[in-house]
Amino acid sequence: MARRRLGFIVVVLAIAALLAWWAARNNYFRTLVAPSVRLTLVSFADLPRWRDSDPRPALAAFARSCAVLIKKAPNSAMGGIGYAGTVDDWLPACRALPHAEVSAARARRFFESWAEPVAVSIGDELDGTFTGYYEPEIHASRARHGAFQTPVYGTPDSLLTVDLGQFRDDLAGQHITGCAQGHKLLRCPSRGAIDAGGIRQAKILFYADDPISVFFLHIQGSGRVRFDDGSAERVAYDAQNGEPYTPIGRTLIAEGALPAEGMSMQVLRRWLSEHPNDARRVMETDKSFIFFREAPIGDDMLGSDGSEGVPLTPEASLAVDMRIHPLGAPVFVAATRPDAALGRTDHDFDQLLVAQDSGGAIKGAVRGDVFWGFGSEAEAIAGRMKSTGKLYVLLPKQLAMRLGTAKDFAAP
């Protein structure tokens, strides 16, 4: 048994080393043509409506990130492409956190006291895309009966995630996920394969009453579940099958089933409900599949834990591309958001948030997904949010000064 286990580990490590070499080779060629990520030093006066903003929710979110940072080794890297230094660079700000409730003006002064904003761009292009996500609720039962037929799965015992950064420093933050079969690491089953035959070694947590709701739970990454006995809990992201995320809106546009203009989560949900014979096929064009874990509701005003391991704060937590940006950093977004009521004019969304999460669709330096929380209003806003906007990162002053006026970093 020990010999077989050792052989399995050797095979996995050999595969990981080969994947690391291949990824590094591809990264080398990509850097020849990919535009760089540029960080340009600006001032707080350059942040739209900074003086009128209320960063108190972001202050509370930053305090939660600090609780994670202070447990790390001071010399450990913050992550991303390396512009955010080490944990030690951020500890003075964490130690200076106010210990009592403060005004909006006091919260602004706190960030101004230790940070300088830098504008993020791809080359000279400052504009990027900002969307929203929320915490949905599904209805389920512990037992399979009646309408409760759609399984929600825990993580398979066979699933392995290889951190390529353990093999090459320039691949930090990049991972390969697969499912072990004997001494081989293979691709995990896709959504279609799991829908058709389940997945071995994965526990079924419970059965939901609507496959479309479960599909959107996968897209959001976490949510809440209301059981048929009246109890409730969170269902949190635990793992993913390693397949790339494919938006089904892209599928329906390509098939001519829906126009690109006016695309939203609400439009997609309505189309799937109105086309039951095609719904499963369309959903399965997204091969990505999420595995979950159960957790208590805890603080009802916060979301599930994000990628940083802290509860998400509505309108103050942002999902970013972890290959580029460090988790725990305050980020100012200048964009717009839809009104909760359909047909109302969009509102300016100029707000400080904290990078605390990631997502399969969140790729790029000027790309973010705003967490809106739980409930019908959060769903209405998140499902329709797609805004052009700008992104600024708040860095400790000493780090910002090292950048000079501007500095380019190789895009991952």
Query: With 0-12 CB in 10 A as exposed, 13-18 as middle and 19+ as buried, what is 171?
Result: buried
**Fold assignment, 36-150+303-412:** Barwin-like endoglucanases (2.40.40)
- Which residues lie closer than 8 Å to 223 by C-beta, 6 or more apart? 135, 136, 137, 138, 217, 234, 235, 304
Question: Residues with Cβ < 8 Å from 261, sequence gap 6 or more?
Answer: none
Interatomic CA distance for residues 230 and 233, integer angstroms: 10
Q: Which stretches within 255-361 are classed as H helix?
A: 265-274, 276-283
Q: In terms of C-beta distances under 8 Å and separation of at least 24 residues, what long-range contacts does 44-48 make, across chains too?
A: 44/108, 44/112, 44/117, 46/117, 46/119, 46/392, 47/117, 47/332, 47/334, 47/350, 47/392, 48/334, 48/348, 48/350
C-alpha closest to that of 161 among 138, 178, 140: 178
- Those residues whose C-beta lies under 8 Å from the C-beta of residue 408, and which sit 6 or more positions away, are 36, 37, 38
- Helices marked H in 275-366 — which ranges? 276-283
CA-based end-to-end distance of the chain = 40
DSSP state of 137: E
Q: Could you tell me the two tokens for 53?
A: 């903003």
Tokens 């900074």, residue located: 50
Q: Can you read off the two tokens belonging to residue 106?
A: 């006091």
Beta-carbon contacts of residue 342 (< 8 Å; ≥ 6 apart)? 380, 384
The angle at the Cα of 410, spanning 407 to 412, to the nearest 5 degrees, equals 140
Identify whether the C-beta of residue 224 lies closer than 8 Å to the C-beta of residue 374: yes
> Could you tell me how far CA 96 lies from the centroid of its own chain?
28
H or E element, residue 7: helix 2-33
| DSSP β-bridge partners for residue 371 | 133
Distance CA 232, CA 228 (A): 9
257/123 Cα distance (integer angstroms): 36
C-alpha to C-alpha distance for 256 and 181, rounded to whole angstroms: 40
Cβ–Cβ under 8 Å, residues 310 and 67: yes
Q: Which parts of 115-242 fold into alpha helices (H)?
A: 191-197, 211-220
pLDDT along the chain (412 residues), means of 10: 44 50 46 74 97 97 98 95 96 96 97 98 96 97 97 96 81 82 91 94 96 97 97 96 95 96 95 98 98 95 96 98 96 95 83 95 96 96 96 97 89 80
How far is the CA of 8 from the CAs of 4, 13, 15, 21, 183, in angstroms?
6, 9, 11, 20, 5
CB 394 within 8 A of CB 110: no
Instruction: Note the residue count of the chain.
Output: 412
* Amino acid letter, residue 59: L
On whether the CB atoms of residues 200 and 156 are closer than 8 A, the answer is yes
What is the three-class DSSP state of 315?
A: coil
Instruction: Specify whether the CB–CB gap between 305 and 311 falls below 8 A.
Output: yes
At 126, list the tokens. 């400052």
Output the pLDDT for position 15.
55
Q: What is the pTM for the complete model shown?
A: 0.87
Query: Looking at residue 25, what is its pLDDT?
Result: 47
Q: What local confidence, expressed as pLDDT, does residue 16 receive?
A: 52
Q: What would the DSSP string read from start to end of 17-58?
A: HHHHHHHHHHHHHHHHHSPPEEEEE--GGGSTTGGG---HHH
Q: Which helix (H) or strand (E) holds 253?
A: helix 248-254
pLDDT attached to residue 170: 73
- Residues 368/331, Cβ–Cβ less than 8 Å: yes
Q: Which single residue is written with the structure tokens 């829908």? A: 195
d(CA 166, CA 16) in angstroms, rounded, equals 9
What's at 43, amino acid-wise? S
